Structure 1
């Protein structure tokens, strides 16, 4: 063989994003996926007539997703029509007030003025502009870029600009320097949970997440829920020529002194390959799938994000007026984050309730689905989940009843807690991979191109840019671009 196929291990969003671009560029691509369908972390499950998304529920930056389709000459709207949610979020505060996050600077400023007063609305408008400036400075240089080489950090102009904007302050202090109403500060700092850190430990650079969802908007597929995303990407990859092999487990990436030589599958089959994209749980892959030269100082003592307790419910009714995403923010804000940092359950948890009413196929007519996520410690903490899990589930049911959702104890559904996440293949029992402390950000995050194993590329949440649908899609694009930039190899091994 000359080049052989590129093997992509894992048909999640990162693996599919890489496969689409590689196949569209004319490469022979084989995607091997242990499960029986695409999706990876962006999965789906059923309970009777109800269907639930078991992965991410928040989709921002749809242009990143559209670029994947565009790389294959396809129109995303034809494969995956999206709708922009209105409101993006509803923030429900412990004092009984709420704030709907809506599209447009003027409309949103009016909402802030009604809740917090005109002076705070003026401050909000200025802060909103700051978020946009920070996003413009950060996105093209440190998020939408390959940072596998140390020199990628040598961007003095960009670093100085971010510093001037407050990017290296703590996130809570950055927000408090511009806003005075605690409710509005919380609205722009709760996103630190997405990167696994409390707001007072996260850097201000992560204010770009607040820009992405409160300014850029939150979207949802018109049909099929979030799992429609990997299904559509898999269809585009196959149309472009990729071969997707479901129910096929890779057990070893083989390499010699010159780099990757092939992939060994469960059952003994071997695919000769010089380039492999591994887009699955990295700690699990390091435990046997990957060759020895991959591990380095970045992977020796990984700091995982907190996990979550998620309860999915099938409702025999609908909830008129309920927002798609509602955040119920607790009274003990700092104590909640402190508990998570110490590996303990939150005393007064902040809850994300998702009500995908527009996903008509998720429930029978007149019925609906509802999901609630409570941040929780991962399995590296002291929590005894055999004892604590049932207690937290009962507490969460009571919280939901207190918030007006009724008695959900008898509703059909599904529960996912840290032990369940671990059984699904997530290291430390968290579906959020590594947290984004400074020493696990950009070049400091596990490299997408391990230098001691040429031809091996990593993609997904564990590599840069990191956690979230847009970063994961970008990681797949970066892996594909590195492969396409490599000089073609001749001969055989």
Structure 2
């Protein structure tokens, strides 16, 4: 049956992309978001004159973003101009060695015998990129631009299967001889919440993309991506409602027939696309008696990603680090310490300075600094009181203050409880599913309930701005096909 009216739960980039795709095909779209603004984890918020990110800090794998916009009929280059971050990452190692990563003109090691080590590193980067470039191209130009199919995956990657054995740590040991350089390479992927020895080797394509294509930042900040998608959906006639939390997905006789909002309002629709994670969709938004038992078990057993404490500082002074993002990290084999609480005082941390590229995000001569601190995953969400999160944050801010001048004008702290209750991230898990989740642990776009489709963090491929957009496109295409 053709869907004439589709309701979308969630106004992040997945929901907006699904809405644009459906509306462009003549489907009436109504999108509902619980928050007062769109964009989810790809948006910004203003506080005391400082513009902070609400999650995503940059665009990785820019070619994939171009593909996503092209599928929506939008010319990314004109609609969303971006800066390339020439020096995206730098890492400070325990002995004081600094490893700077960027394009070939900016890679360097500053420490004993720095020039010779830099020359060696450049050669090793060139060989690593040459080895993995073909697989990166397969991922960005083919595999990630369509729903997961094991048959298609094997058809496209069988030549590369010998390279895909082992962990990221194994591959970095094979490719990089300098322990400090190897640690800096491993640090690039710590955003996943996994140390290199627990990270699947294919994640190296993200590192290779950064080394070859760089990281990018929209000219007006990460929220500009949401702005383009929102404007396109409105132009196509889509209805967008904020401050409109959904209480229930309505199912009758085995088929979706709309939504009930928290206000009690009933929205009649032929189909629903939920971007509220597979776990929230099946465990919270549907009458438990109507959820297939296999899907309930999948949602209950889903391996969740890490939680974190977001620390965002608005400074009166300029901070000018050596790179957009700076890591203070141990050697690769010890980097699990970076991902765990440090009760004796914070030594390992990362910070990002968006105003290094976009100074207009802060008042004149000011800076925005953003950090994500590791937390105790066993703590219940209720433990994150305002006093407790301030205490945890103080240790990370003190560590940063030992390396950068901090004249703090304003502070925003976002705890796991905040991510769960205000950002509506399931149990505060910032990526939904763990990046190490197996394909069979991810949620399909087409569900066992007729008329219900999934997009967003817990569907393939899972996380990241471009991949989240594609998840919405995949759900819309699955709906249109049926």
Both proteins in one fold, TM over 0.5: yes
Listed as ranges, the gaps of 5+ residues in structure 2 are none
Alpha-carbon displacement from aligned partner over 1:367-412 (angstroms, at most 9, x marks no partner) = 2222222333435679965586444322212211111x1245x431
Cα-Cα RMSD: 3.0
Residue 392 (1) aligns with residue 392 (2): yes
Aligned equivalents of 1:336, 1:415: Cα separation in 2: 24
Give the secondary structure class of the aligned counterpart of 2:251.
Answer: strand
Residue 182 (1) aligns with residue 183 (2): no
Match of 1:92 in 2: 92
TM-score by length of 1: 0.86
Which one of the candidate residues 176, 183, 191 is aligned to 1:194? 191
Question: In the alignment, is the contact (CA less than 8 A) between 1:311 and 1:415 conserved in 2?
Answer: yes
Deviation at 1:242, TM superposition (A): 1.3
Which structure 2 residues correspond to residues 221-370 of structure 1 after superposition, within 5 A? Answer: 221-223=218-220, 225-290=221-286, 292-293=290-291, 295-319=295-319, 321-323=320-322, 325-331=324-330, 334-337=333-336, 340=339, 348-370=347-369
Aligned equivalents of 1:41, 1:371: Cα separation in 2: 14
Alpha-carbon displacement from aligned partner over 1:422-479 (angstroms, at most 9, x marks no partner) = 2222223232222122xx23343122221x2122111111111012112211111111
Match of 2:412 in 1: 414
Aligned equivalents of 1:465, 1:344: Cα separation in 2: 35
Give the secondary structure class of the aligned counterpart of 1:376.
Answer: coil
Deviation at 1:130, TM superposition (A): 1.8
Which structure 2 residues correspond to residues 417-456 of structure 1 after superposition, within 5 A? Answer: 417-424=415-422, 425-437=424-436, 440-450=437-447, 452-456=448-452
Give the secondary structure class of the aligned counterpart of 2:37.
Answer: coil
Listed as ranges, the gaps of 5+ residues in structure 1 are 487-493
Match of 2:146 in 1: 145
Residue 5 (1) aligns with residue 5 (2): yes
Comparing 333-342 and 455-464, the one that deviates more: 333-342
Question: In the alignment, is the contact (CA less than 8 A) between 1:343 and 1:381 conserved in 2?
Answer: no
Aligned equivalents of 1:250, 1:380: Cα separation in 2: 28
Give the secondary structure class of the aligned counterpart of 1:200.
Answer: helix
Question: In the alignment, is the contact (CA less than 8 A) between 1:314 and 1:368 conserved in 2?
Answer: yes
Deviation at 1:414, TM superposition (A): 0.5
Give the secondary structure class of the aligned counterpart of 2:355.
Answer: coil
Do the aligned partners of residues 18 and 57 (structure 1) sit closer, same or farther apart at CA in structure 2, a change above 3 Å counting?
Answer: same
Question: In the alignment, is the contact (CA less than 8 A) between 2:109 and 2:118 conserved in 1?
Answer: no
Give the secondary structure class of the aligned counterpart of 2:198.
Answer: coil
Aligned equivalents of 2:466, 2:379: Cα separation in 1: 27
Aligned equivalents of 1:344, 1:4: Cα separation in 2: 56
Alpha-carbon displacement from aligned partner over 1:245-294 (angstroms, at most 9, x marks no partner) = 22222221112344222122233332222221101244333333135326
TM-score by length of 2: 0.88
Give the secondary structure class of the aligned counterpart of 2:196.
Answer: coil
Alpha-carbon displacement from aligned partner over 1:306-331 (angstroms, at most 9, x marks no partner) = 22222211111223x43562222323
Alpha-carbon displacement from aligned partner over 1:109-131 (angstroms, at most 9, x marks no partner) = 67798372434432221111122
Deviation at 1:170, TM superposition (A): 0.8
Do the aligned partners of residues 153 and 206 (structure 1) sit closer, same or farther apart at CA in structure 2, a change above 3 Å counting?
Answer: farther
Aligned equivalents of 2:67, 2:89: Cα separation in 1: 25
Aligned equivalents of 2:343, 2:158: Cα separation in 1: 38
How many positions carry a matched residue from both structures?
473
Aligned equivalents of 1:202, 1:343: Cα separation in 2: 22
Which structure 2 residues correspond to residues 73-152 of structure 1 after superposition, within 5 A? Answer: 73-103=73-103, 106-107=104-105, 114=115, 116-139=117-140, 142-147=143-148, 152=150
